[in-house]
A and B are shown apart, each in its own frame.
Chain A
Amino acid sequence: GAVVSQHPSRVICKSGTSVKIECRSLDFQATTMFWYRQFPKQSLMLMATSNEGSKATYEQGVEKDKFLINHASLTLSTLTVTSAHPEDSSFYICSADRYGESSGANVLTFGAGSRLTVL
């Protein structure tokens, strides 16, 4: 089945530094990927839609200059948290939409997630 690889799974950084998270589709091409953020005991909140070869589309309230998204190829999207602060500590999850022949539908497949802790 479709596999989405996300790296790193955990990262701890100092306040003010930048952190890059990679999301790769391993066995399919993903023209669109989605980045979510999840705080403890809360649901997933869509941050942005990453489009291959074009600018990402950010959800309301998400700072595009702080959360840089690059989707340079059909299998790789990256999220860079710039000048991270403790309030950015969260679980970041990427996902990709893939048409499944067995299901006959587009289904969102998630990466394993990246837990960011900013000290």
Chain B
Amino acid sequence: QKEVEQNSGPLSVPEGAIASLNCTYSDRGSQSFFWYRQYSGKSPELIMFIYSNGDKEDGRFTAQLNKASQYVSLLIRDSQPSDSATYLCAVNNDYKLSFGAGTTVTVRA
């Protein structure tokens, strides 16, 4: 079983819509969770992180964490063409980040 699992996509959404990305993890002891965005040929850049159960909002992005279900998600509201990228879910285990394979998002203008 992979440590961090994501749907690979591609996820295609029209401009202005909400993109919903899901991630599950296997280590119940994981404490911190991160979402990174990676454009093709570039290194990842942090979007946001979440530690506590519930929702955390930052601009057009909302992260949701449910530790009981070992599930973390990312919502992108008012999606823009510039949001087209691969989104990586990362989970902190023993001070090391484990990454999911990423979900590719395409926002159609």
Contacts and interface: CB of A to CB of B under 8 A. Distances in A.
A110 B97 contact: no
B60 interface: no
Contacts, number: 41
Contacts of B46: 107-109
B13 to A, nearest CB: 21
Interface string A11-28: 000000000000000000
Majority secondary structure of chain A interface residues (helix, strand, loop or mixed):
strand
Contacts of B96: 34, 46, 49
Interface in A84-118: 93, 97, 103, 105, 107-113, 115
A43 B95 CA distance: 18
Interface of A: 6, 34, 42-46, 49, 93, 97, 103, 105, 107-113, 115
